Structure formats: C-alpha cells, structure tokens
Chain A
Amino acid sequence: MQHRLDAPEDCKRTDGDFPEPERQPEPEADKGPVPQLPGFAAQLIGQRMRAMYDTIAQEPVPDDLLELVRKLEAKEQQK
C-alpha cells in the first residue's frame, strides 16, 4: 500500500471490494443462544474499549494523510 497520487486510476481495480460489503454466510459459531452479560460487566468492557479507542483517535493526524487529501483536492481543481 504505497502512495498512489500519480495513479488514482489504479484504485479502480479495487472495485471488487467497494462499496457494497459482501454478504458472508453466517458462521456456525454465531448461531444459537448467547448468554447475556450483566449490565455492569458490559459497561466495564465498554469503558475500557472506549478509553483505548479514544486514545488513538486523539493522536495527532499524520501529516502525510492530511497532505494526501489536500493534494487530491488541488489536483481536481487544476482540471
């Protein structure tokens, strides 16, 4: 997965996985009754997960990702 600024057409080959998600057959493991967790346990897991998730979301966005979008915009405006 390299920069593809010079060849955005290249992305078209990925049409196969975009944007409609494929319907996957439901695995056996997902069937049958599932024991439900008591509310407090679900909350504890939720809190920990969100703390981890938010930590990553609050990291500064790498410059190359910002530049990528700005370059795509600039390229379009040149047309």
Chain B
Amino acid sequence: MLLKVWYVDDEFDLCEVFSDFFSSAEVEVKTFVSHLAALQEAKINPPDLLFLDYRLKGATGDWVAQQMDPAIPKYLVTGEASPPCKYPYLKVIYKPYRRQDLDEIIQQYLDLKQKAQKNAS
C-alpha cells in the first residue's frame, strides 16, 4: 500500500531533495516543477498528501492549493518569512526545514492510510 505524496516546487534541486528524503517502499513521492502539471494530474489521480512551495513560476502555492480538491491534506513549504495565505493549510513549514519535521507528517499519514486499509480489509 503506497502513500502518494506530492511536492510542488519550481526549483528542481528542492524537488530532488524532497524525493531523496521521503521516497520509500511505502511512500511514493512525486514532484512537480510545474504547478500546472500538478493541477492537471490531480484531477485524474490526486495525491494523498500535498506539499506546496509558496513561490512558484507564474503563481503562488496558495493559489494552487485553492484549485485542488479540498479533501487533499495540504502543507505549505516556503522560504518566505511571512507569506500572505488564504488557504487553511494544515501547517506551514519554513525552509530550510529539517527532514524529521516532514518525516513525522508523512509517517502520520502513512499510518492513517495503513490503518484505513486494514479496517477496510
């Protein structure tokens, strides 16, 4: 059972770091440097958990969050000191973040998903 975690950031290196950190047998990490691609795919195959960078090329993460299904849990990841946000994120994570900060969140959702699947079966 895989947890689908997406990370949207216009910086490729940060996408790579995210992927390196959190990809595992249980977690399927998918990164997007284009928020438009993310929005497109989300319509077909939405993620279980979404991490959005605030400052994207041509848009803000906040705007992207508002376009996505509200059911998707969303976390904002930003280098800004105090980004103006409208969307009620579950948490705002500031760059540079510690791996364990996100580990805990991902692990929490992984546990929840595993628990749900177990209940279903």
Q: Do A and B come from one complex?
A: no
